Amino acid sequence: MASALEELQKDLEEVKVLLEKATRKRVRDALTTEKSKIETEIKNKVQQKSQRKAELVDSEKPAAVVAPITTGYTMKISNYGWDQSDKFVKIYITLTGVHQIPTENVQVHFTERSFDLLVKNLNGKSYSMIVNNLLKPISVEGSSKKVKTDTVLILCRKKAENTRWDYLTQVEKECKEKEKPSYDTETDPSEGLMNVLKKIYEDGDDDMKRTINKAWVESREKQAKGDTEF
């Protein structure tokens, strides 16, 4: 049995044949109108058929695979330990279960004076650690990372081997030096002594303050007399 679309196409062909043979205007006008109606119906049928085909193809497509959420948020790593050998500065970061994730999820980028660590999709979180202004230059090519049980080990290859790092970063060094008493061998020694006495005076009890005041008065008196043995 012919489909509705095929029947319409046959009707159209027959109308065209009749239209070619018709000589009366009234008949030609009627056939022309009918021809337009059939062409419109055929166009609608074709569009409906295409739409149904597209819907059928979509329904047969496999369900889209939703990629798993790799990370909820990123946590900054602030706790770590470090030591050194003649060739390497070693940074230890403890992350439970880090050895169970794919190796490519642990990424470290080195520059001559910095490194940054990114651990992705560890128990639904990411972890990052950025260390800038390393105390001394490192070899980018010679530096690497190792993943051990619950630990990431970052190996910074010293550019100058057999040199000791007292601090991991330049910032740590500057902070520690600010905490030290202000001894400066290039300045007047008496100025350094005065700074020490000032700190002792500020931190001392009443007896200590009286002792320092007495020593100061005696020192000034000796200087006035030309005796600078103090």
User: For the chain, what are the domain ranges?
Assistant: 4-51, 74-172
pLDDT, position 34 = 86
Confidence of residue 136 (pLDDT cuts 50, 70, 90): very high
pLDDT, position 197 = 64
Residue 145: strand, helix, or coil: strand
What does the DSSP 8-state code read for residue 98? G
The packing angle between helices 189-203 and 206-224, to 10°, is 150
Confidence of residue 18 (pLDDT cuts 50, 70, 90): confident
State percent of the chain over pLDDT 90.
40
Residue 139, CA distances (Å) to 89, 130, 144, 160 in order: 11, 17, 10, 9
pLDDT, position 148 = 93
Q: How far apart are CA 82 and CA 114, in angstroms?
A: 15
Residue the block writes with tokens 């090519």: 141
Q: Encoding tokens for residue 71?
A: 């990370």
Does position 208 have pLDDT exceeding 50, yes or no?
yes
pLDDT, position 1 = 43
Q: Which residues of 125-140 are buried (b: 16+ CB within 10 A; e: fewer)?
A: ebbebebeebbbebbe
pLDDT, position 227 = 54
Question: Maximum CA pair distance of the chain?
Answer: 146
pLDDT, position 92 = 96
Q: Encoding tokens for residue 100?
A: 């169970």
Can you tell me the mean pLDDT for 44-72?
A: 66
Alpha helix (H) residue ranges in the chain: 4-21, 25-60, 170-179, 189-203, 206-224
pLDDT, position 187 = 52
Does position 26 have pLDDT exceeding 60, yes or no?
yes
Contact 38, 15 (CB under 8 A): yes
Residue the block writes with tokens 């279960």: 97
CATH number of 4-51: 4.10.860.10
Pairing of strands 114-122, 125-131: antiparallel
pLDDT in tens, 146-194: 999 999 999 999 999 999 999 999 999 988 888 766 555 555 555 555 6
Does position 76 have pLDDT exceeding 90, yes or no?
yes
pLDDT, position 196 = 64
Identify the top-confidence range among 39-43, 50-54, 160-164, 207-211: 160-164
Q: How far apart are CA 120 and CA 125, in angstroms?
A: 7
Does position 69 have pLDDT exceeding 50, yes or no?
no
Q: Encoding tokens for residue 76?
A: 């900054």
CATH number of 74-172: 2.60.40.790
pLDDT, position 109 = 96
Q: How far apart are CA 4 and CA 23, in angstroms?
A: 30
